[in-house]
């Protein structure tokens, strides 16, 4: 988990994550799910969304695009869809944010 916390912003494949933790892909996925009850992919997505939500909630002047990039997302539509699915509103409508286009 320490490796994951240190690297959730990085664009690493599951194979790279497993290699960096000294496990085979199958043992990495199995061990990860035992510790966290989420798949590694879902954990990374959830961690990125939590950080994006915190950043947007805390700093209403920060552009959504900047937060998207800073939290490891590569595509605005993917980010916006995942964010809305998780929080029920698009990133640009995060409570406390100013009104601005995405």
At 7-40, the pLDDT tens digits run 899 989 999 999 999 999 999 999 998 899 889 9
Give the pLDDT of residue 1: 87
CB 65 within 8 A of CB 29: no
Least confident of 38-47, 77-86, 89-98: 89-98
Residue 8 main-chain phi, psi, to 5 deg: -65, -20
pTM of the entire structure?
0.85
Residue ranges of domains in the chain: 2-40, 44-93
pLDDT band of 97, cuts 50, 70, 90 = low
Summarize pLDDT for 65-87 with one digit per residue, the tens. 999 999 999 999 999 999 999 99
């Amino acid at each position: 988990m320490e490796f994951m916390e240190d690297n959730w912003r990085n664009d690493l494949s599951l194979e790279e994550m497993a290699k960096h933790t000294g496990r085979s892909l199958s043992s990495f996925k199995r061990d990860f799910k035992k510790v966290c009850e989420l798949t590694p992919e879902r954990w990374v997505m959830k961690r990125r969304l939590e950080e994006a939500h915190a950043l947007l909630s805390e700093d209403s002047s920060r552009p959504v695009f900047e937060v998207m990039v800073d939290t490891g997302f590569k595509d605005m539509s993917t980010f916006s869809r995942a964010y809305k699915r998780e929080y029920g509103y698009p990133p640009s409508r995060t409570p406390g944010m100013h009104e601005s286009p995405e």
